[in-house]
Structure 1
Amino acid sequence: MKLQAGKNSITFTSFGVALVGDLYLPEGFDENKKYKAIVGASPFPQVKEQVLGTYGPEMAKRGFVFLGFDYLGMGDSPALSGEFKQSRYMFRLIENTWDAVSYLGTLSFVSEIYGMGVCQGGSIIASASITDHRIKKIATVSGMMASDAFQWTDKAMVNQMIAAANNSRQKIYETRKPDYVAPFGLNDEQSREDYIAVAGVMAEESYNYYGRDGIKGPKTIENFTNMHIGDQPMESLISIGEHYADKIVQPTLVVYGKDAPTAICSTAFIDKLTNEHEVLAVPEFGHVDFYYKPEAVKVSTDAVAAFFNK
């Protein structure tokens, strides 16, 4: 396939199936030259047209090759035989990332490979890099690397989530049918007013992005839905990146909103890092601002580009 500057649709193999991705190439791309490449990792429960579709062109504009892709069972990528779509399981996301790195490694014009993750993508990239040293540097933006202080503080609530996930897994096994839920209480039909009235601290900014009328919600992104397979918390509540942070050897950049409710997910991770690392804590932006707001995306992409170019 002939690759050209801009967005290129590609596939690569993981778990024996073809995952679908977008490979963003810099202006004036020349396959005989060498470029630094980035594998992107997206927030839960996103598809490649959302955050990665925002960051891909921005990083290509800054001279990088950028790979955004749909994980197994998400977006345009198939589920495994006998399994169901919208099944974004954490351990598989890590292996999909390793295979994405392998794909980039086959491209003759790629010199070094870096990893960049946003929200849950931060946890994915941090976890993948622990034992994949083909990834030479990593950067996280609004990263959810540390789940203990954010997700496990209210153990009664966590145990309710686990009970629901366990029941869902049993139901799926017995019926051989998917059991879909709205992980954040947000479905594809709710109005802004209805959701904000019952949701938590990040309700408005979450709806502004993911809601029916949101900037990257199901009306805008055809292959996206807020509904997800019900047993997913059995994996997402396990944070590998946080507890293995001191094992990460790659230089690391952590960008986050200083006053965002999720800041602890970056700061607790930073506290455990023993490698060379840099931190950019930005007071004026919230967690979701870094997904799409031009002024926030410029801050994060400029910082990531500068870090990867050092």
Structure 2
Amino acid sequence: MTLTAGKDAVTFKSFGVDLAGDLYLPEGFDPSKKYKAIVGASPFPQVKDQIPATYGPEMAARGFIYLGFNYLGMGESPALPGEHKQSRYMFRLIENTWDAVSYLGALPFVDEIYGLGVCQGGAIIASAAVTDHRIKKIAMVSGMMAADAFQWTDREAAHQQITAANAAKQKMYETGAPIYVAPFGLNDEMSREEFIAAAAYPEMAGESYDYYGRDGVKGPKAVPSFTNMHIADQAMQSMFSLSEHYADKIVQPALVVYSATAFTAPCSTQFVEKLTNDHEVLAFDEFSHVDFYYKPEAVKASTDAVAAFFDK
């Protein structure tokens, strides 16, 4: 395969199938030279045409190689035989990430490999790095690393989610047919007004819709491979938050970028409290959690910081 500067469609093996990826190469790319490479990890339940398509070009413009990809069963990446699409399970996300690192490590023009995760991607990268020291540095933006408090504060609600997920898993096993749900109450057909009216936190719902909604900048109309619907047993896996419990085992230098005013701020701050490695923290008051997904000023602030950290 001939690779050129810009975005190149690639595949790599994980769980015995080909995962679909986009490899972003810097301007003037020369395969005889060595480059620092980044494996990207995206928010739940995104595909590679969302966060990776935003951060990939930005990091390539700063001289890095960036790999964004669809996890097993997401977007153009197939599910395993007998399984269903939209089954983004945390343990598999970590293993897919390890295989992405292996793919980058096999490229002759790749030097050091770093990890960059946004939202749930922060938890994926932090978890993957615990035992994968091929990843030399990690950066997490609006990360959901310390997600226990976020997910388990209301235990009754958490157990309701788990009960529903258990029932769905049993039915899917017995029938062989998938059951899909909208994990955040947002389906692919709702208007902004409908979603906000039904939401417990209207402001949060508004910014989420502006990105993920039917008419959002990276919603199902803008990104045909994306859907807000997800396999119904998701809560059985997403309620695990591994990285915060292994934070003190992470040895790689780490950068944490987050919004100090966002409702998700504790997912970063509580994680940082548990770190024992060399780490840097950059908090912004002027940006929201979702601003780091696509707002130009927020993306520039985060990618500038990540590039400076990885270049040290």
After TM superposition, the score normalised by the length of structure 1 is 0.99
* Counterpart for residue 38 of structure 1: 38
How many Å separate the matches in 2 of 1:72 and 1:199? 30
1:24 aligns with 2:56: no
Pairing of 1:139-288 with structure 2 (within 5 A)? 139-201=139-201, 202-288=204-290
* Counterpart for residue 308 of structure 1: 310
Which letter maps to 2:179?
A: D
Q: How much has 1:42 moved relative to structure 2? A: 0.3
How many Å separate the matches in 1 of 2:52 and 2:235? 23
* Counterpart for residue 57 of structure 2: 57
Which letter maps to 1:227?
A: M
Q: How much has 1:233 moved relative to structure 2? A: 1.0
Pairing of 1:31-180 with structure 2 (within 5 A)? 31-180=31-180
Unaligned stretches of 5+ residues in structure 2: none
Note the alpha carbon deviations across 1:45-95, whole angstroms, 9 max, x for none.
Answer: 000000110000000000000000000000000000000110100000000
Which letter maps to 2:268?
A: S
How many Å separate the matches in 2 of 1:116 and 1:199? 30
* RMSD of Structure 2 on Structure 1 (CA): 0.5
How many Å separate the matches in 1 of 2:176 and 2:210? 35
Which letter maps to 2:200?
A: G
How many Å separate the matches in 2 of 1:32 and 1:199? 53
Which letter maps to 1:267?
A: T
- Of all paired residues, the percent bearing the same amino acid is 75
How many Å separate the matches in 2 of 1:168 and 1:52? 31
Note the alpha carbon deviations across 1:184-226, whole angstroms, 9 max, x for none.
Answer: 0000000000000111332011000000010000000011000
How many Å separate the matches in 2 of 1:199 and 1:56? 32
How many Å separate the matches in 1 of 2:122 and 2:232? 22
SS in 2 for 1:238: coil
How many Å separate the matches in 1 of 2:168 and 2:72? 20
Q: How much has 1:229 moved relative to structure 2? A: 0.1
SS in 1 for 2:224: coil
After TM superposition, the score normalised by the length of structure 2 is 0.99
Note the alpha carbon deviations across 1:137-169, whole angstroms, 9 max, x for none.
Answer: 000000000111111000000000110111111
Which letter maps to 1:5?
A: A
* Counterpart for residue 294 of structure 1: 296
How many Å separate the matches in 2 of 1:223 and 1:113? 28
SS in 2 for 1:78: coil
* Counterpart for residue 15 of structure 1: 15
Note the alpha carbon deviations across 1:263-303, whole angstroms, 9 max, x for none.
Answer: 01001100000000000000000000000000000000000
Which letter maps to 2:45?
A: P
Q: How much has 1:6 moved relative to structure 2? A: 0.1
How many Å separate the matches in 1 of 2:104 and 2:271? 27
Note the alpha carbon deviations across 1:206-262, whole angstroms, 9 max, x for none.
Answer: 000000010000000011000000001111111110100000000000000010000
Which letter maps to 2:304?
A: D
Which letter maps to 2:81?
A: S
Note the alpha carbon deviations across 1:4-55, whole angstroms, 9 max, x for none.
Answer: 0000000000000000000000000000011000000000000000011000
How many Å separate the matches in 2 of 1:292 and 1:170? 38
Unaligned stretches of 5+ residues in structure 1: none
